[in-house]
A and B are shown apart, each in its own frame.
Chain A
């Protein structure tokens, strides 16, 4: 998580605090914040995209209008997607990130 590379000096960065690499927060991983992870159950999914439009972290991958799964580097595990999923058999399940809990279940 975060950056481990040596930080640049004042001669090597743009002036005024400008950030010129738009959207580079994607290089910053917040997946480690999770205590629970959403797991996609593909066969239940009706690709309504309700989960996608509700995710605060842009962590649900959509291609050609179809869900592809989760971006676990940026999903914080809030569980909103699971609550919004309207599929008859839920297509998103929240599971504990704790390894032992996973064995229990």
Chain B
């Protein structure tokens, strides 16, 4: 496992001068993922904040090979790159015989949970040697904070607005990490850039595997979450301590490991309260949603513990 000093020597594949908002989690996630990646990297990226803010022609923040195709096909596109690598290596073209390349696809929650879901599922099932990273900020931020299937219950977004009749998003978020694990691929994990050690270890592990891997990473959006610019990482810690965003990994579809257990689980209110998108939930008539979310989180945490063999 790399120390920060080592990681710092590998830095530089993702540069400053991009146009992500100040304090954007996507920038932190991307930097940590790429710093953990040794060897050559080809990045595929879905349309979304990360892509549109980092490749505004004629500038690019990517100091490594990069391709954006469209919103829903980062996985398929990257699988094509990986297939090309296998083909060209086999045919001894471009001197690739002795080369080492990593293939990393990035997508937001919209480009991953929703519109890119099929493309991702297909690429994982086919077994391409690639790491797919979802930076999950819980909404379509690039187009102005619309709800996605990753948006948490009750969140106020521009297409699940908190109104007089409807108190924000009425559905639970879907647990994509579990769904990808159900592909029985070698490695699936959930991570957070507030825990860089855990995150970079997971990336290193994923890239060491001769097959597909998926890491779902929570990623603060100060604008969409309605939090101050410097609060993102702190909120990630609360997300982990409240078990809203557990850190765990799943090998070969079945072997669950919990990577972090809070000493005392924080109440979900601690996670909701600092964020403007949940403000309305604290009105008396909406508080039942907080209770529902707490129940859901508790059930899920128990399920994870059980699967990891930490509960009988």
The answer to whether A and B touch directly, with their CB atoms under 8 angstroms apart, is: yes
Chain A residues at the B interface, C-beta cutoff of 8 Å: 13, 17, 19, 21-30, 33-34, 48-50, 52-59, 62, 65, 71, 73-80, 82-84
A65 neighbours in B (Cβ, 8 Å): 4-5, 8
**B21, B25, B64, B229 — which one has the most chain A CB atoms within 10 A of its CB?**
B229
B204 at the A interface (CB under 8 A) = no
C-alpha gap A49/B23 in the complex (Å)? 17
C-alpha gap A50/B195 in the complex (Å)? 10
In the complex, the answer to whether B62 meets A54 with C-beta atoms within 8 Å is: no
Stretch of B10-18, B119-127, B170-178 at the chain-chain interface: B10-18
In the complex, the answer to whether B16 meets A83 with C-beta atoms within 8 Å is: no
A56 neighbours in B (Cβ, 8 Å): 20, 22-28, 31
C-alpha gap A30/B19 in the complex (Å)? 8
Chain B residues at the A interface, C-beta cutoff of 8 Å: 4-5, 7-8, 11-12, 14-28, 31-32, 35, 54-55, 57-66, 193, 196, 222, 228-234
For the complex formed, measure the closest distance between the CB of B83 and the CB atoms of chain A, giving whole angstroms.
21
Determine the residue in chain B with the shortest Cβ distance to A7: B58
A58 neighbours in B (Cβ, 8 Å): 11-12, 14-16, 27, 31
- A30-B18, A58-B27 known, 10 other contacts, Cβ within 8 Å: A19-B60, A23-B15, A24-B58, A53-B31, A53-B196, A54-B28, A58-B14, A65-B4, A76-B22, A80-B28
In the complex, the answer to whether A19 meets B17 with C-beta atoms within 8 Å is: no
C-alpha gap A48/B3 in the complex (Å)? 10
A24 neighbours in B (Cβ, 8 Å): 17, 58-60
In the complex, the answer to whether B196 meets A28 with C-beta atoms within 8 Å is: no
Given A22-B60, A58-B15, A80-B230, also A49-B28 (CB < 8 A): no
